[in-house]
């Protein structure tokens, strides 16, 4: 390390109070930003759970549909037409809806019901207990064992219940990679049983899942589906559409965005303010360095170095703290939707660098204007 930077570090560490305040300020800002963004990403990921769990390459839906939870039923002929589009390998219907479950003890619990194509069971979940073919048994349902499983009184295979006044029996326990955001237990059954037992609208088909023959066929399929007046999206496009919806068309996304911004501003002001105080307090020292013969570029390097050191320390502590809290939250609250991804780590890092850059810039402007003669006389 260059001696000049070592000097900068000693000046910084020597001012223990300011140093600690700086690191704590940035830690706090990073902590808040990480928490906010990880909640945000967590919520987004969980809201797209069905798209990911079902795992189809393409989805066909009404153009007004934004998320996999809120479908607008389509008439059956659409399925036939979609199947005849060149480039479509196969296409199957999917039902997504809600059912009201009446438990044996007489209490009610709403549940998400997913109806899988009878012939293929395309999109079926991985089973922890029971056999896939058991879904064809009378009134059979698979229940997903996620955070909301207990809301159905943790049913076992063979447990009976009523759903929309029809009999149901648990035939399998399923596992999905991402739990639902909405706090409802999820039941899988066949498409035909789901559409017979549950809904009351004229049309019942929520989505068509389809597999293109090749990626090259996708644009053609989209055009053909669009001609029908419907929308075909790849799974990633649908996920993006879903995320956009939660980010910008629900209060949730916007609020979290605002909170993230606020934590950024709070962090920026704490760090900027403290750093400026640090610079003011050390004006005489920087003036002396200037008088002894430090170049402007060296003073600039010193300030940047000091602000980078506190920023990276604050970043480290903030990430640590946020990770600890998220881990603790997940331990205690099964539905706690927060994930720390490279994305939000990167976002926080960028924000910290901005904070550090701005603080340094304010300090540098002051330092470069120092006139040692004036500093020494005051």
Partner 1 sequence: MILSVDGVSKWFGEGAARTNALREVTFRVDHNEMLYIVGPSGSGKTTLLSVISGILRPNAGTVLVEGKDIWRLSDDALADFRLHTLGFVFQDYHLFPRLTTLENIAVPLILRHVPWNDGLEKARRVLQVVGLEQKGQLPPQRLSGGEQQRVAIARAIVAEPDLLVLDEPTASLDGDTGKRIVAFVRNEILNERRAIIVVTHDDRIYEYASRIIHMEDGRIVDLPGPAA
Ligand X SMILES: Nc1ncnc2c1ncn2[C@@H]1O[C@H](COP(=O)(O)OP(=O)(O)OP(=O)(O)O)[C@@H](O)[C@H]1O
How far is residue 298's CA from residue 9's CA, in Å, rounded to a whole number? 13
Pick out residues in 274-303 that bind partner 1 (CB under 8 A): 284-285, 287-298
- Under the binding rule (CB under 6 A), the answer on residue 376 touching ligand X is no
Contact 60, 232 (CB under 8 A): yes
CB nearer ligand X, residue 332 or residue 377:
377
Binding-site partner at residue 235 among ligand X, partner 1, none, CB < 5 to 8 Å by type: none
Chain position carrying tokens 């109070």: 17
Joined together, the tokens standing for residue 356 give 């550090």
Stretch binding partner 1 (CB under 8 A), from 9-17, 84-92, 104-112, 161-169: 9-17
CB nearer partner 1, residue 7 or residue 127:
7
* Residue number with the smallest Cβ distance to ligand X: 377
CB nearer ligand X, residue 329 or residue 372:
372
Pick out residues in 6-45 that bind ligand X (CB under 6 A): none
Contact 42, 194 (CB under 8 A): no
Joined together, the tokens standing for residue 148 give 């909301």
Nearest-approach distance from CB 288 to ligand X, in angstroms: 17
Closest CA to 360 of 22, 3, 21, 67: 22
Nearest-approach distance from CB 294 to partner 1, in angstroms: 5
CB nearer ligand X, residue 76 or residue 371:
371
- Under the binding rule (CB under 8 A), the answer on residue 18 touching partner 1 is no
How far is residue 190's CA from residue 109's CA, in Å, rounded to a whole number? 20
Nearest-approach distance from CB 146 to partner 1, in angstroms: 56
Joined together, the tokens standing for residue 97 give 């809806």
End-to-end CA distance of the chain: 34
How far is residue 74's CA from residue 59's CA, in Å, rounded to a whole number? 13
How far is residue 144's CA from residue 137's CA, in Å, rounded to a whole number? 18
- Under the binding rule (CB under 6 A), the answer on residue 374 touching ligand X is yes
- The site for ligand X, by CB under 6 A, has a size of 2
Pick out residues in 332-371 that bind partner 1 (CB under 8 A): 371
- The site for partner 1, by CB under 8 A, has a size of 28
How far is residue 353's CA from residue 359's CA, in Å, rounded to a whole number? 10
Angle at 57 between CA 37 and CA 116, to 5 degrees: 100
Question: Which residues contact partner 1 (rule: CB under 8 A)?
Answer: 2-4, 6-7, 10-11, 13-15, 284-285, 287-298, 371-373, 376
Question: Which residues contact ligand X (rule: CB under 6 A)?
Answer: 374, 377
């Amino acid at each position: 390390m260059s001696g000049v930077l070592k000097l900068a570090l000693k000046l910084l560490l020597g001012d223990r109070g300011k140093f600690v305040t700086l690191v704590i300020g940035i830690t706090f800002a990073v902590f808040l930003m990480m928490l906010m963004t990880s909640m945000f990403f967590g919520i987004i990921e969980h809201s797209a759970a069905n798209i990911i769990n079902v795992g189809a390459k393409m989805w066909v839906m009404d153009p007004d549909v934004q998320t996999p939870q809120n479908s607008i039923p389509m008439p059956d002929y659409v399925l036939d037409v979609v199947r005849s589009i060149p480039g479509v390998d196969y296409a199957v219907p999917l039902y997504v809806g809600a059912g009201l479950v009446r438990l044996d003890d007489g209490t009610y619990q709403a549940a998400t019901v997913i109806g899988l194509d009878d012939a293929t069971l395309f999109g079926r979940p991985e089973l922890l207990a029971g056999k896939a073919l058991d879904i064809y048994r009378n009134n059979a349902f698979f229940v997903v064992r996620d955070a909301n499983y207990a809301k159905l009184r943790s049913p076992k295979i063979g447990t009976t219940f009523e759903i929309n006044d029809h009999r149901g029996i648990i035939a399998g326990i399923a596992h999905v990679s991402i739990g639902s955001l909405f706090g409802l237990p999820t039941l899988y059954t066949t498409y035909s049983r789901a559409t017979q037992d549950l809904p009351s609208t004229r049309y019942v088909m929520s989505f068509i899942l389809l597999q293109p023959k090749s990626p090259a066929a996708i644009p053609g399929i989209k055009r053909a589906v669009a001609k029908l007046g419907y929308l075909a999206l790849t799974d990633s496009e649908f996920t993006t559409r879903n995320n956009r919806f939660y980010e910008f068309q629900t209060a949730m996304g916007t609020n979290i965005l605002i909170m993230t911004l606020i934590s950024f501003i709070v962090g920026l002001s704490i760090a900027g303010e403290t750093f400026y105080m640090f610079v003011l307090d050390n004006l005489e020292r920087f003036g002396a360095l200037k008088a002894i013969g430090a170049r402007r570029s060296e003073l600039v390097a010193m300030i940047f170095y000091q602000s980078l050191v506190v920023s990276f320390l604050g970043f480290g502590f903030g990430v640590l703290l946020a990770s600890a809290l998220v881990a603790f939250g997940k331990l205690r609250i099964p539905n706690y939707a927060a994930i720390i991804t490279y994305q939000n780590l990167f976002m926080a890092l960028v924000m910290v660098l901005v904070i550090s850059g701005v603080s340094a810039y304010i300090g540098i402007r002051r330092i470069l204007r120092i006139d040692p003669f004036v500093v020494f006389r005051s």
